[in-house]
Amino acid sequence: MTCAHCIGSENIFNKKEALKNLKRYNKKGPNKTTTLLLNALEQENLTGLSLLDIGGGIGVIQIELLKKGLSKATDVDASQAFISAARQLAGKENLDKKTRHIYADFIDCHQDVEEHDIVTLEKVVCCYPYVEELIRHSTAKAGKYYGLVYPLDGAVARAVNKMAHLYFKITGNPFRTQIHSEKMMDNLICESGFRRIFYGRIFPWNIALYKRVEPN
């Protein structure tokens, strides 16, 4: 990985955090934001479709949708610890033959990733500074659906974000949390040929699902 921000993320999304996420999922299942995004996707016909899960964490979206009939899933994550946890979870669920895991910054490897029917980014844009580039490249890989979970972009959220930046600066970690304009992201996604078919909110998160517009 070439991005200092992504390298710094390894210190945040480490083995301890991955194991904590695995333990929680095994005990309670998907968290609330994941569940809302999954429910929105499950209203569509997913049988035989493929998934590209960018910043896929321990692989919850991959596993849950594969159980619903997806043909395959590709996981791209910049945390080695979370890639390892996702492999472990896929193996436990006997879905490892349907999953591919790529340890990389998606921007660095996007040319080597094929198009998938569904692309998801849960709590990813809030961890990535180059959001316009991320959205352009990731929407290009989405044949049918594009889903994401991202934080509110109001004054309170931005104030909290500044405090987080101060903490990372003091601790010497180049990782930075991000608050991006919801309007800007929505415009970029729609300009890429999508329309929003679902929107939900679980404070402080927004959940959105888009569907590619069929040509006339």
The per-residue pLDDT for range 157-211, each reduced to its tens digit, is 676 666 766 766 776 767 676 766 899 999 999 999 999 999 999 988 999 999 9
Q: 108 by DSSP, 3-state: which? A: helix
Contact 147, 120 (CB under 8 A): yes
Task: Reply yes or no on whether the pLDDT at 72 is more than 70.
Answer: yes
| Preceding peptide of 174 cis, ω within 30° | no
Low-confidence winner among 52-56, 152-156, 189-193 (lowest mean pLDDT): 152-156
- Per-residue pLDDT, 154: 66
Q: Quickly state the pLDDT bin for 4 (edges 50, 70, 90).
A: low
Sorting pLDDT into bands at 50, 70 and 90, what band is 216? low
Of the two residues 156 and 203, the one the predictor is more confident about is 203
The pLDDT tens digits for 22-32 are: 999 999 999 99
Q: What average pLDDT does the segment 62-77 reach?
A: 97
What per-residue confidence (pLDDT) applies to 153?
81
pLDDT cut 90: percent of the chain above it: 74
Check residue 133 and give its pLDDT. 95
* Domains of the chain with CATH codes: 4-212 (3.40.50.150)
15-28 vs 80-92: helix crossing angle, rounded to 10 = 30
> Tokens 């569904």 map to which residue?
118
Would you state the structure tokens that stand for residue 31, as one six-digit string?
């968290």
DSSP assignment string, 161-181: HHHHHHHHHHTT---------
* Mean pLDDT over the full length of the chain: 90
Instruction: Provide φ and ψ at 103, rounded to 5°.
Output: -90, 100
State the average pLDDT over residues 117-132. 91
pLDDT number for residue 191: 97
Q: How far apart are CA 70 and CA 48, in angstroms?
A: 5
How many whole angstroms separate alpha carbon 129 and alpha carbon 3?
10
Residues 6+ apart with CB under 8 A from 92: none
